[in-house]
Structure 1
Amino acid sequence: MKPNILWSMALLLSIGSLCHGGKVLVFPLEGSHWVNMEVLIKAIHARGHMLTVVRTDKSWYIKEKSPYYTSITVPATKGFDEEFVKEGLKVLIDLERGKSSMLNFFKMQLKIFSKMSEAHAMMVEAATNMITDQKLMKTIKESQYDMILTDPAWGTGILLAHHLQLPLVYNVRWITSGEGHFAIAPSPISYIPMMGSGLSDKMTFRERVKNMLFYILALYNDRFVIKPSYQAFCDKFYYPKVDFNDLVQAADLWLNRVDFVFEFPRPTMPNVVYMGGFQCKPAKPLPEDLEEFVQSSGEHGVILMSLGTFVSELPNDLADEIAAAFAQLPQKVIWRYKGDRPTTLGNNTRLVSWMPQNDLLGHPKTRAAVLHGGTNGVQEAIYHGVPVLGFPLFFDQYDNLLRLKERGGTRILSLGTLDRHIFLQALQEVLHDPSYRMNMQRLSRLHRDQPMKPLDSALFWIEFVMRNKGAAHLRTESYRMPWYSYHSVDVIGVLLAAVLLIILIIIAVIRYLCCRVCCNSKIKMKHE
Structure 2
Amino acid sequence: MSGLNGVTGFVLAVSVAFLGGPPGALGGNILIFPLDGSHWVNMNLLIEGLHARGHQVTVVRSASSWYIKESSPHYRSISITVPGGMDIEKQDFFASFLVKMLQIQREGASPLAFVSFYSYMLSALSGMHQQASQFVVEMFENKALMQSLRDSQYDVVLLDPGLPVGVLVAHKLGLPTVFNVRWITSGEGHFVVAPSPMSYVPTSGYATSDKMTFGQRVGNVFIYLLNMIIDMFVISPHYDTLVKSYFEPGTNFYHLLQGTDLWLMRVDFVFEFPRPTMPNIVYIGGFQCKPSKPLPTELEEFVQSSGEHGVILMSLGTLVKGLPVEITSEIAAAFAQLPQKVIWRHMGKQPIGLGNNTLLVKWMPQNDLLGHPKVKAFVAHGGTNGLYEAMYHGVPVVGLPLLFDQFENVLRLEVRGAAKVLEVTKISSQSFLEAVQEVLHNPSYKTSMERLSSLHRDKPMHPLDTALFWIEFVMRHKGAAHLRTESYKMPWYSYHSLDVIGFLLAVLFVLVAITVGSIYFLCLRLCRKRKPKQE
Name the TM tier (shorter chain): over 0.9
**Residue 68 (1) aligns with residue 77 (2):** no
**Residue 518 (1) aligns with residue 534 (2):** no
Q: Which residue of 2 aligns with 1:491?
A: 500
Partner-residue secondary structure (3-state), 2:401: coil
Displacement after TM superposition at 1:517 (Å) = 2.3
Q: Aligned partner of 1:159: which letter?
A: L
Q: Distance in 1 between matches of 2:203 and 2:12?
A: 52
Displacement after TM superposition at 1:305 (Å) = 0.4
Identify the match of residue 154 of structure 2 among 145, 151, 154.
Answer: 145
Displacement after TM superposition at 1:488 (Å) = 0.5
Q: Aligned partner of 1:367: which letter?
A: K
Q: 1:503 to 1:356 in 2, by over 3 A?
A: same
**Residue 360 (1) aligns with residue 369 (2):** yes
Identify the match of residue 142 of structure 2 among 126, 133, 137.
Answer: 133
Q: Which residue of 2 aligns with 1:254?
A: 263
Q: Which residue of 2 aligns with 1:266?
A: 275
Q: Distance in 2 between matches of 1:58 and 1:212?
A: 39
Q: Which residue of 1 aligns with 2:349?
A: 340
Partner-residue secondary structure (3-state), 1:148: strand
- Tell me if the contact between 2:42 and 2:288 (Cα under 8 Å) persists in the aligned partners: yes
Counterparts of residues 398-477 of structure 1 (less than 5 Å): 398-477=407-486
Identify the match of residue 205 of structure 2 among 180, 196, 210.
Answer: 196
Displacement after TM superposition at 1:106 (Å) = 1.9
Partner-residue secondary structure (3-state), 1:206: helix
* Comparing 292-301 and 397-406, the one that deviates more: 292-301
- Tell me if the contact between 1:97 and 1:415 (Cα under 8 Å) persists in the aligned partners: no
Q: Which residue of 2 aligns with 1:25?
A: 31
Deviations 1:53-105 (A, max 9, x none): 11112212111111111111111124323333121111222223337744223
Q: Which residue of 1 aligns with 2:312?
A: 303
Displacement after TM superposition at 1:198 (Å) = 1.5
Q: Distance in 2 between matches of 1:511 and 1:422?
A: 76
- Tell me if the contact between 1:96 and 1:415 (Cα under 8 Å) persists in the aligned partners: no
Q: Aligned partner of 1:304: which letter?
A: L
Partner-residue secondary structure (3-state), 2:321: coil
Deviations 1:260-318 (A, max 9, x none): 00000000001101101000100011111111111111111111100012333521111
Q: Which residue of 2 aligns with 1:160?
A: 169
Q: Aligned partner of 1:489: which letter?
A: L
Q: Which residue of 2 aligns with 1:230?
A: 239
Partner-residue secondary structure (3-state), 1:29: coil
- Tell me if the contact between 2:204 and 2:224 (Cα under 8 Å) persists in the aligned partners: no
Displacement after TM superposition at 1:328 (Å) = 0.9
Partner-residue secondary structure (3-state), 1:127: helix
Q: Which residue of 1 aligns with 2:287?
A: 278
Q: Which residue of 2 aligns with 1:380?
A: 389
Partner-residue secondary structure (3-state), 1:55: strand
Partner-residue secondary structure (3-state), 1:351: strand
Displacement after TM superposition at 1:450 (Å) = 0.6
Displacement after TM superposition at 1:14 (Å) = 6.9
Displacement after TM superposition at 1:514 (Å) = 2.4
* Comparing 8-17 and 342-351, the one that deviates more: 8-17
- Tell me if the contact between 2:261 and 2:481 (Cα under 8 Å) persists in the aligned partners: yes
Q: 1:42 to 1:276 in 2, by over 3 A?
A: same
Q: Aligned partner of 1:309: which letter?
A: T
**Residue 58 (1) aligns with residue 67 (2):** no
- Tell me if the contact between 1:302 and 1:366 (Cα under 8 Å) persists in the aligned partners: yes
Displacement after TM superposition at 1:3 (Å) = 8.2
Displacement after TM superposition at 1:125 (Å) = 0.5
Q: Which residue of 2 aligns with 1:46?
A: 52
Displacement after TM superposition at 1:496 (Å) = 1.1
**Residue 103 (1) aligns with residue 109 (2):** no
Q: Aligned partner of 1:105: which letter?
A: F
Q: 1:495 to 1:13 in 2, by over 3 A?
A: farther
Q: Which residue of 2 aligns with 1:117?
A: 126
Displacement after TM superposition at 1:522 (Å) = 3.8
- Tell me if the contact between 1:277 and 1:380 (Cα under 8 Å) persists in the aligned partners: yes
Deviations 1:13-55 (A, max 9, x none): 8755543311111111111111111111111111111111111
- Tell me if the contact between 2:240 and 2:252 (Cα under 8 Å) persists in the aligned partners: yes
Q: Distance in 2 between matches of 1:240 and 1:413?
A: 51
- Tell me if the contact between 1:98 and 1:416 (Cα under 8 Å) persists in the aligned partners: no
Q: Distance in 1 between matches of 2:108 and 2:501?
A: 53
Displacement after TM superposition at 1:511 (Å) = 2.6
Q: Distance in 2 between matches of 1:454 and 1:287?
A: 28
**Residue 217 (1) aligns with residue 226 (2):** yes
Q: Distance in 2 between matches of 1:381 and 1:56?
A: 32
Q: Distance in 1 between matches of 2:241 and 2:273?
A: 36
Q: Distance in 2 between matches of 1:483 and 1:102?
A: 35
Q: Aligned partner of 2:58: which letter?
A: T
Unaligned ranges ≥5, structure 2: none
- Tell me if the contact between 1:313 and 1:338 (Cα under 8 Å) persists in the aligned partners: no
**Residue 349 (1) aligns with residue 358 (2):** yes
- Tell me if the contact between 1:368 and 1:386 (Cα under 8 Å) persists in the aligned partners: yes
Unaligned ranges ≥5, structure 1: none
Q: Distance in 2 between matches of 1:434 and 1:325?
A: 21
Partner-residue secondary structure (3-state), 1:370: strand
Displacement after TM superposition at 1:8 (Å) = 6.1
Identify the match of residue 391 of structure 1 among 391, 400, 416.
Answer: 400
Deviations 1:198-240 (A, max 9, x none): 1111111111111111111101111001111011100111113
- Tell me if the contact between 1:312 and 1:336 (Cα under 8 Å) persists in the aligned partners: no
- Tell me if the contact between 2:320 and 2:348 (Cα under 8 Å) persists in the aligned partners: no
- Tell me if the contact between 1:25 and 1:149 (Cα under 8 Å) persists in the aligned partners: yes
Q: Distance in 2 between matches of 1:139 and 1:73?
A: 14
Q: Distance in 1 between matches of 2:109 and 2:498?
A: 47
Q: Distance in 2 between matches of 1:485 and 1:20?
A: 41
Q: Aligned partner of 1:43: which letter?
A: G
- Tell me if the contact between 1:305 and 1:333 (Cα under 8 Å) persists in the aligned partners: yes
TM-score, normalized by length of structure 1? 0.96
Displacement after TM superposition at 1:12 (Å) = 6.3
Q: Distance in 1 between matches of 2:145 and 2:117?
A: 39
